[in-house]
Amino acid sequence: MPKRPPIVLERREVVASILDARGDALVVTGLGSPTWDAAAAGDHPNNFYLWGAMGGAAMIGLGLANAQPTRRVIVLTGDGEMLMGLGSLATIGVDRPRNLSVIVLDNQRYAETGMQPTHTEHGVDLAGVARAASLESVATIYSRRELERWIPRFYAGPGPIFAAVKIVPNHPPMVLPPRDGTYVKNRFREALLGKRAVG
């Protein structure tokens, strides 16, 4: 395994920085910590929070990006969730949505189930997978400076974009968004499409 830079970034600060710049972007969060992180950064009607559906976050992002080509779609998910849907990176690499950014908060752990190591702890390189799947723009981010440079690209760079942000394996307090899936779906559609969308 090649030597890598030290991991220093903290997940809540990373997610807060990314979502501070969201503008009118639409956000999908993968189950577990990324959902709590997004809730901690502030609830928003155009957040679609997953509490399940492991492996599906990036593909929900793809369907949403294709339905809303003038809006930026941000998927914030974890390394375990992304590993369960690796094939979706191939699908996204082929479909090439210009407005989709998939950001993996990679703590190299299954945080919700007892911090067991994921394959990224053992050297599996998610950015390498995304690059091999021919996504447009790919990075592994270790430093605050790199993160600051990438945030504008997440929102305006040509997609599909993939970034693995390496974060320390801490476990900040859970901040829970609404858990009723039907409510979160309808709220999202009403905010995006107007009242008629939930009639």
Considering the complex, state which of residue 33 and residue 88 has its C-beta at the smaller distance from other proteins. 88
Minimum distance of other proteins from residue 119's CB (angstroms)? 18
Q: Toward other proteins, which CB reaches closer, 48 or 150?
A: 48
- The DSSP call for residue 122 is G
CB of 87 to other proteins, least distance (A): 3
Binding stretches for other proteins (CB under 8 A): 26, 28, 48, 50, 52-57, 59-68, 85, 87-88, 90-91, 94-95, 181-182, 184-185, 188-189, 192-193, 197
Q: Is 85 helix (H, G, I), strand (E, B) or coil?
A: coil
Tell me if 74 sits within 8 A of 28, measured CB to CB.
yes
Q: How far is the CB of 10 from other proteins (least distance, A)?
A: 29
Shorter beta-carbon distance to other proteins: residue 66 or 143: 66
Strand pairing category for 109-110 and 116-117? antiparallel
CA–CA gap between residue 99 and residue 69 (Å, rounded) = 6
Contact 160, 100 (CB under 8 A): yes
